[in-house]
Amino acid sequence: MFRRIVLTITQAVVVALIALIALLLLSFGIGSSVSAPPNAVMYLDEQSLRYYSPPCLAALGLNPNRMLRTTDAEMSRRWVAGGGLRGQLRAAPECADSPNGHDEAGGFVQHGRSLGGMFLQKLGLIPPLESRWRPDGTWKW
């Protein structure tokens, strides 16, 4: 009788460990992302109502002096909340983050760690990802 109870407990522990390992492996397929902070520097073309990130302007060869330098928070406060342009401001299509993760030109969204990566980061096994924005809102690239 005692052997049977020990065998049942051992089987339950093995099944639980296999389930835990499977869950951890599956968590690496669940990604995350970080949006640009409210103070991130952007450039607004007031005629087309499109906004650009500094890296995108450089990649496209556009002149930032012909555009208004602003931030996301300032755009919301000044243009969207003001009522006149509600819903009309858009990221320039050529600067939009691509679905395959190659968003060197856009940069409005930074791809973050997977759920499993976040767990490993919390355990201190891997370092945190470096943000593409400095605390003052300027871009690191």
pLDDT in tens, 60-115: 888 888 888 888 777 767 655 555 555 677 778 777 655 444 455 467 788 888 98
* CA–CA separation, 97 and 35 (whole Å): 11
Of 50, 45, 37, give the one whose Cα is nearest residue 107: 37
CA-CA distance, 15 to 7, in Å (whole number)? 12
Q: Is the pLDDT of residue 117 over 70?
A: yes
- What integer is the mean pLDDT of 39-52? 84
Q: Give the pairing of strands 68-71 and 41-45.
A: antiparallel
Could you give the residue ranges of the DSSP H alpha helices within the chain?
Answer: 2-27, 54-60, 72-75, 115-122
pTM above 0.85, yes or no: no
